[in-house]
Amino acid sequence: MTEYFPVPAGLRKHALDFYDAGAEPVTPKLASTVLLLRTGDLGPEVYLMRRASTMAFAAGMHAFPGGTVDPRDAAVQPAWAGPPPAEWAARLGLDEPSARAVVSAAVREVFEESGVLLAGPDASTVVGDVSGEEWESARVALIAREIGFAELLAERGLVVRSDLLTPWARWLTPEFEPRRYDTYFFLARLPERQVTRDVGGEAEHVVWGRPEDLTNLLMLPPTVVTLRGLRGYPTVDDAMRSERDVTTPVRPYIDLDAAEGRLVIPTD
């Protein structure tokens, strides 16, 4: 299946200038995004945040919690439960250190941006409510890089529950963009007794809703396509059990031969 989106004139010109100049694409940064799911009255619901208008990337857009891999995600390894890093490496198409960093970043970012912590004291338990003042102080310190994620978990005797993540997709930013990301999308069920934050430092507004009810919001094409892909799952369990190949990234590109240009997204 291939999907098409209109392209702003300025972006089309930027792409033309890039190719006319024979410019070299920048190396994409590894990134992680998490689709938090919960069971609503009418089926699965997903959590979106509207990024602050001051953000350098995707300002004002609705997006899932996520961000780039931090150097400490690779350098300092948190305690781990679930599939080992070697298994994640095979599933993600990465070397083992990069796979571990991507999974760690997913868990860290979703805690930083939504207040949900996919961790527990052991491989069969998930931490409960983490919305209190002490946890909020830890979250703020983590965002400020005053404490590392591995350190935060170790101080509380917690391990990353990598088994709570389901790989969903991998997207690669078009080569003409000045900011490029190799982004892994994961699904995660909202743990029992945990709640999402109403607003975060990078968000001006948050919303829960059915995928089919959210696509009218302002968002980038990868978010739209991802939401559409979730519509066919009647329950959260069905979505979490899905097995998708994420080793090959989705590579959007601009069709410059079209009269006004169009963004082409081959999702097969």
CA–CA dist 92, 248 (Å, integer): 9
Q: Tell me, what's the pLDDT at 72?
A: 83
Concatenated DSSP letters of the chain = -EEEEE--HHHHHHHHHHHHTTPPPPPPEEEEEEEEEEEETTEEEEEEEEEPTT-SSSTT-EE-SEEEPPHHHHHSPPPEESS-HHHHHHHHTS-HHHHHHHHHHHHHHHHHHH----EESBTTB------SHHHHHHHHHHHTTSS-HHHHHHHTT-EEEGGGEEEEEEEE--TT-SS-EEEEEEEEEPPTT----S--TTEEEEEEE-HHHHTTSSB-HHHHHHHHHHTT-SSHHHHHT-----SSPB--EEETTSSS-EEEEE--
- Asked whether residue 200 carries a pLDDT value surpassing 70, the answer given is no
Q: How confident is the model at residue 197 (pLDDT cuts 50, 70, 90)?
A: confident
Find out whether 231 and 151 touch, Cβ atoms under 8 Å.
no
Compute the average pLDDT of residues 106-122. 96
Compute the average pLDDT of residues 76-103. 94
Compute the average pLDDT of residues 115-121. 96
- Asked whether residue 151 carries a pLDDT value surpassing 70, the answer given is yes
Percent of the chain with pLDDT over 70: 94
Give the tokens for residue 86.
């070697």
- Asked whether residue 268 carries a pLDDT value surpassing 80, the answer given is no
Domains of the chain (ranges, CATH numbers): 2-266 (3.90.79.10)
pTM over 0.85: yes
- Asked whether residue 267 carries a pLDDT value surpassing 90, the answer given is no
Q: How confident is the model at residue 260 (pLDDT cuts 50, 70, 90)?
A: confident
- Asked whether residue 54 carries a pLDDT value surpassing 80, the answer given is no
Q: Tell me, what's the pLDDT at 184?
A: 98
Q: Tell me, what's the pLDDT at 58?
A: 62
Compute the average pLDDT of residues 187-211. 85
Q: What does the pLDDT look like over 28-51, one tens digit per residue?
A: 999 999 999 999 999 999 999 987
- Asked whether residue 242 carries a pLDDT value surpassing 80, the answer given is yes
Q: Tell me, what's the pLDDT at 250?
A: 96
Mean pLDDT of all residues belonging to the chain = 91
Q: CA torsion sign, 214 to 215 to 218 to 222?
A: positive
- Asked whether residue 60 carries a pLDDT value surpassing 90, the answer given is no
Compute the average pLDDT of residues 239-268. 89
Compute the average pLDDT of residues 17-23. 90
Q: Which of 66-75, 149-158, 159-168, 180-189 comes out lowest in average pLDDT?
A: 66-75
